[in-house]
Structure 1
Amino acid sequence: MTIQSLRTASKIFLIAGAIFLLAFLVWVKATTGSVVQENVVAAESAYHHAVIESATVVEGKDFSDDPTVAVGTVEVQMTLRLDDGQVVSSRGLDETGLYKAGRRVIVQYQPGASAEFQWGVVDVERSGRLLWLTAVFALAVLALMGRQGVASLIGLAFSIAMIVWIIAPAMLSGQNPLLVATLGALAVMWVTLPMSHGFNWTTAAAMIGTAVALALTVLLTVVSVDGTFITGLANEDARNLRYLIDGFQLDLRGILMAGIVIGTLGVLDDVTVSQASTVAQLRAAAPNAPRAKIVAGALKVGRDHLAASVNTLFLAYAGASLPLLLLFAIGGVSLGEHLTSETVAQEIVRALAGSIGLVAAVPITTILAAMILDEDSAVLHDHDHGEVHPEQERLVEMYGDNSDKTT
């Protein structure tokens, strides 16, 4: 099969995929809005923003004998001024010294509680500080990456919007979580890769490689979750969702699998773009090299990248689940029992299923890119950031550089 015929098939796949994903997004958005309103219990109306006007420690309260309360916890009597001007009283436990006069908090009204506990502080308001941190991040990206940074930030905004406005509402309306997450993740990839790396055959190879590897990850995730009898009930946040949903039974196992797919996509993008770019540069540097040599050389580069990426994926999951890892330090339970408990096992499945998909993405993307890229397809800034990989030098020495190019 010639490069031209492969490119034609790739173009058809990408265009058809874009049309299908667009239709899916429009359909999901059009059919889930009112359903979510009916299914989700009206809890947000019970939350209010307020500022603490005064906070006084309640004397005579000793929690030193209560193992469920952190050392140093005190009970605090607070006066709160809501944003609508109403002044209310609240009493609660302060474990970390956060309840101080002048601090903005989020409070919840519970009419069924006793009078002194009807208003309770549920969290500290962090929106202002998070906005500053976001602004610093955006400026750092723009200062380093320039126009490509703008595209990356737009892609990030699109990813967030996809999860908040499309994927989450679809799950809350009763749609299959894994299907919605998979198609939503593909839609994110279909938009963000061309936006960040340009419309070219290198990006096309990365997109197709990502789609195939993501499909494999979905299959591995389903088999792994079903095969290890994971229910999704080990996650406290997921269990709490059940109390906020009416009208149908939330698929917690599906939500767990959806999270694995979405979490894997970000690392997959990085690996597939790097591999496609590696093939393009090797082909540009050694246009006379046989396709098999290009694949072999790119795979050597890919193994270097993959060694770090697999560790990155595991550390990302480990960091998010650090309290679970601390269970290993608790005596009385063997390491094997810890590892096979659902709380820990679901994180192991999450990391391994995503890592296997990541490993598969390297040869899939490399072979595909070698089949559709030629010496004019190089994207010189994506892979090596200005450095020449030893594999590129070796192929140039063996097969010559662009000055030897034949048509």
Structure 2
Amino acid sequence: MLNDTKKRKDIKHGLVIIIISILFFAFLHYFSNIQKPELVNRKGTSYEKAVVTEILQDNIQEDGSRIGYQKVKVKILSGKLKGQIKEATSFAGNLYGANCTVGMKVIVNINQHEDNILISVYSYDRSKVIYAFVGMFLAILWAIGGKKGLKSAIALIFTFICIIYLFLPMLYKGYSPFLSAVILIILITIVSLYLIDGISKKSVAAMIGTTLGVIIAGVLAFLFGKFAGISGYNVSQIEELVFIANNTKLQIGGILFAGILIASLGAVMDVSMSIASTLSEIYSHNNDMSVKELFKSGINVGRDMMGTMSNTLILAFTGGSINTLILNYAYDLRYNQIINMYDIGIEIMQGVSGSIAVILSVPLVSLIAALILTYKKEV
């Protein structure tokens, strides 16, 4: 009888989740259905899959380097010219073009105006490698993590969908970047922790602590930027962003700080859930503990995590700016020049504010978890 009741509850619970999911994704589809202004004239231009069938003119030199361009024949595998064999050029560049060989899969840029067709090799066709690599990651996550690993993979996919179909459209429509990031963080945190642990006292504590910690870090980053004279207008590619903002409702100023919130979310969520789980386990073995005792236990556990997680964020941001660091080192720039560069200031702001979020999440989650776990006893 109890098993039947549990099964009925599980079925109802599953149906509710399915209905909410359908409504949410229907909302995302409607919300992200945007008529974008044409920023670049792409009439007659397309990017199609192709395979190299013949090398007409190579550009390899005696020393093995490549200069200039190759002339090749390619068979178009997609688009209006599918099945046709055409001549194309492939320039020797680090960002565009490819060192073509017969049988190589490539992406070609086709420019067609009336009867004139100009085709150039844009890049290698690496889409299958990317899909395989991501698939391998998800498979490993599932194989080692089991059911929770599968739920973590679903949470990752949900995060990706929210960024593409909710966060970016919100920015494009002119919503505050900071507010958009907060909404995104709350959604991702709730769904991710729910999938991993369901609705429990420890997951609720982790949800609240994660959200508060990340928001506080974002506010501190904003204050740092205000006093240091750094805004979203001091980032790279600002000219392109200004051009987009002039043709849309994009608010450039807050994008930098929204990015800081999103970048620190993963580490803060990790620390928050770890502390909440530890306190929940401690309390389950000794439910005579007071709020103060549980709070102290959370702080003690968190102290061991602060250093490693702060290091994780600092190293992540350092890795993202390694090109800038190499250039500064190679050109032997002076200290006063380096410390006052916008790029360096932004990296410091991102790394430090993210680390502050990790540090603050320790006392926040410890206090919240202690209060929630002992709530009935205290009452």
Distance (Å, rounded) in 1 between the aligned partners of 2:246 and 2:47: 20
- Consecutive unaligned residues in structure 2, runs of 5 or more: 1-21
Q: Which letter maps to 2:132?
A: W
2:200 aligned with 1:200 = yes
Q: Confirm or deny: 8 A CA contact 1:51 1:104 kept in the other structure.
A: yes
Q: Which letter maps to 2:200?
A: N
Distance (Å, rounded) in 1 between the aligned partners of 2:101 and 2:241: 31
2:314 aligned with 1:314 = yes
Q: Which letter maps to 1:85?
A: G
Tell me the residue number matched to 1:346: 346
Cα 1:239–1:85 shift into 2, 3 Å: farther
Q: Confirm or deny: 8 A CA contact 1:40 1:246 kept in the other structure.
A: no
Q: Which letter maps to 2:207?
A: M
Cα 1:180–1:32 shift into 2, 3 Å: same
1:87 aligned residue (77, 85, 88): 85
Distance (Å, rounded) in 2 between the aligned partners of 1:258 and 1:102: 44
SS of the counterpart of 1:52? Answer: strand
Cα 1:75–1:40 shift into 2, 3 Å: closer
**Percent of aligned positions that are identical:** 23
Shift of 1:32: 4.5
Q: Confirm or deny: 8 A CA contact 1:242 1:249 kept in the other structure.
A: no
Shift of 1:39: 6.1
Cα 1:340–1:85 shift into 2, 3 Å: farther
Tell me the residue number matched to 2:37: 38
Matches for 1:255-266 after TM superposition, within 5 Å: 255-266=255-266
Cα 1:336–1:43 shift into 2, 3 Å: farther
Cα 1:24–1:333 shift into 2, 3 Å: farther
Q: Confirm or deny: 8 A CA contact 1:79 1:87 kept in the other structure.
A: yes
Cα 1:257–1:192 shift into 2, 3 Å: same
Distance (Å, rounded) in 2 between the aligned partners of 1:264 and 1:319: 15
Tell me the residue number matched to 2:285: 285
Tell me the residue number matched to 1:12: none
Shift of 1:72: 5.2
Number of equivalences:
346
Tell me the residue number matched to 2:102: 101
Shift of 1:363: 0.5
Q: Deviations over 1:230-286 (max 9, x none)?
A: 344565556445556763364333222222111111111101101111221222333
2:69 aligned with 1:75 = yes
Shift of 1:196: 0.9
Shift of 1:362: 0.8
SS of the counterpart of 2:254? Answer: helix
Structure with the bigger RCO (C-alpha within 8 Å, sep 6+) is 1
Distance (Å, rounded) in 2 between the aligned partners of 1:254 and 1:208: 24
Instruction: Give the CA RMSD over aligned residues.
Output: 3.4
